[in-house]
């Protein structure tokens, strides 16, 4: 009986409810506070069509060539974007300030511009123009073209370069080398030689490539500038070159500036500079490159 009483007592305590009292309603679970919102990423700045000097990254660069380092001066828009590129080949006195200035001019127009020192193989451009010319005259066409190919590879490897939109330009000695590169390379999208010798009148061990012979197999669009008073490049050579381009149905433009002589674009040489011809040639160059490299 004692065991039954203990069991009954437990039941009565557990089931005891005060008369008229309701059980408390269940409380809803607490709603968690919303996570703090992350600020939206700042929009990237719009890429302008033209750039000011304070928007450029400029200075010397070095990269690997066939027989060692190649030195160059580079100028480019300092934006997180890809841009077309221009290779600049200097005259026969080496990489002088005029060509560094030209690289900056191209960069202000929206190009990655690399002005190569083609005397890199023989110690680089020095202070004596005549010594530079002598050392440069000993370089072979094949060596120069190899260094151009190395420059193309360097540009293609840069994250800020459109690898399929690389052009080349050159002047005098560099005009001929840029013309050869334009006619032989399949990696270039445009070539703009200034008073580049189209016919190799005196083949030699160093000057072994005849540009006009490369025309049939060429694929790169060309814009060629010549001076009407250029005694170094006879008009009949220009005519033969243009005729070869026409006969082979190449994509080209060619202009001869009647009152301009050799090196008419170089504003650092007042004895040869022709401001009117240089201005028109620059306008035509930018229009041509916009079609070939920016479209």
DSSP assignment of the chain equals: -HHHHHHHHHHHHHT---TTPPPPPPPPPPPPPPPPPPPPPPPPPPPPSS--GGGEEEEEEEEE-SSSEEEEEEEEE-SSS-EEEEEEE--TT-S-HHHHHHHHHHHHTT-EEEEE-TTGGGT---S-HHHHHHHHHTS-HHHHHHHHHHHHHHHHT-TTEEEEEEEEEEETHHHHHHHHHHHH-SS-SEEEEES--SS-SS--SSS---GGGGGGG--S-EEEEEETT-SSS-HHHHHHHHHHHHHTT--EEEEEETT--TTTT-TT-TTT--HHHHHHHHHHHHHHHHHHH--
Alpha carbon 182 to its chain's center: 16
Mean pLDDT of the chain: 91
Please determine, for residue 21, whether its predicted confidence score (pLDDT) is greater than 80: no
Give phi and psi for 43, each to the nearest 5.
-65, 145
Nearest to 76, CA basis, from 32, 41, 106: 106
Q: Quick one: average pLDDT of 255-280?
A: 97
Q: Tell me which residue of 163, 72, 69 sits closest to 122, measured CA to CA.
A: 69
pLDDT-based confidence at residue 26 (cuts at 50, 70, 90): low
Q: Which two tokens stand for residue 114?
A: 């690399």
Q: Write phi, then psi, for 77 (nearest 5 degrees).
A: -65, 135
φ, ψ (nearest 5 deg) of residue 287: -65, -40
Residue 161 has pLDDT above 90, yes or no: yes
Which CATH number, 2.60.120.1360, 3.40.50.1820, 1.20.1260.10, 3.40.50.12780, labels domain 53-293?
Answer: 3.40.50.1820
Domain ranges of the chain: 53-293
What confidence score (pLDDT) does residue 230 get? 97
Q: Check residue 249 and give its pLDDT.
A: 98
Residue 31, pLDDT > 70, answer: no
Q: Indicate if the alpha-carbon torsion angle 127, 130, 136, 138 is positive or negative.
A: negative
- The reported pLDDT for the residue numbered 41 is 74
What pLDDT is attached to residue 16? 42
Q: Is residue 80 scored above 80 in pLDDT?
A: yes
pLDDT (0 to 100) of residue 7? 41
pLDDT for residue 1: 43
The pTM of the full predicted model, rounded to 2 decimals, is 0.85
pLDDT at 202 over 90: no
């Amino acid at each position: 009986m004692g065991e039954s009483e203990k069991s009954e007592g437990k039941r009565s305590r557990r089931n005891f409810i005060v008369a008229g009292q309701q059980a408390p309603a269940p409380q809803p679970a607490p709603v968690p506070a919303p996570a703090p919102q992350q600020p939206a990423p700042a929009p990237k700045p719009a890429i302008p069509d033209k750039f000011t000097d304070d928007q450029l990254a400029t200075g010397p660069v070095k990269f690997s060539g066939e027989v060692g380092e190649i030195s160059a001066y580079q100028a480019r828009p300092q934006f997180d974007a890809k841009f077309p590129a221009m290779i600049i080949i200097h005259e026969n006195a080496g990489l002088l300030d005029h060509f560094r200035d030209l690289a900056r001019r191209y960069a202000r127009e929206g190009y990655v511009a690399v002005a190569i020192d083609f005397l890199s193989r023989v110690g680089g451009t020095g202070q004596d123009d005549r010594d530079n010319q002598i050392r440069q005259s000993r370089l072979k066409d094949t060596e120069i073209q190899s260094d151009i190919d190395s420059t193309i590879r360097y540009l293609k490897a840069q994250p800020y370069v459109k690898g399929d939109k690389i052009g080349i330009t050159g002047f005098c000695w560099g005009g001929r080398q840029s013309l050869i590169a334009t006619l032989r390379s399949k990696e270039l999208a445009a070539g703009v030689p200034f008073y580049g010798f189209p016919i190799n009148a005196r083949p030699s061990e160093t000057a072994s490539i005849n540009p006009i012979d490369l025309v049939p197999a060429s694929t790169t669009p060309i814009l060629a500038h010549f001076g009407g008073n250029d005694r170094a490049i006879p008009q009949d050579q220009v005519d033969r070159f243009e005729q070869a381009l026409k006969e082979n149905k190449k994509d080209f433009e060619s202009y001869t500036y009647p009152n301009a002589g050799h090196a008419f674009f170089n504003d650092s040489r007042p004895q040869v500079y022709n401001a009117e011809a240089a201005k028109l040639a620059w306008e035509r160059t930018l229009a041509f490159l916009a079609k070939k490299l920016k479209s």
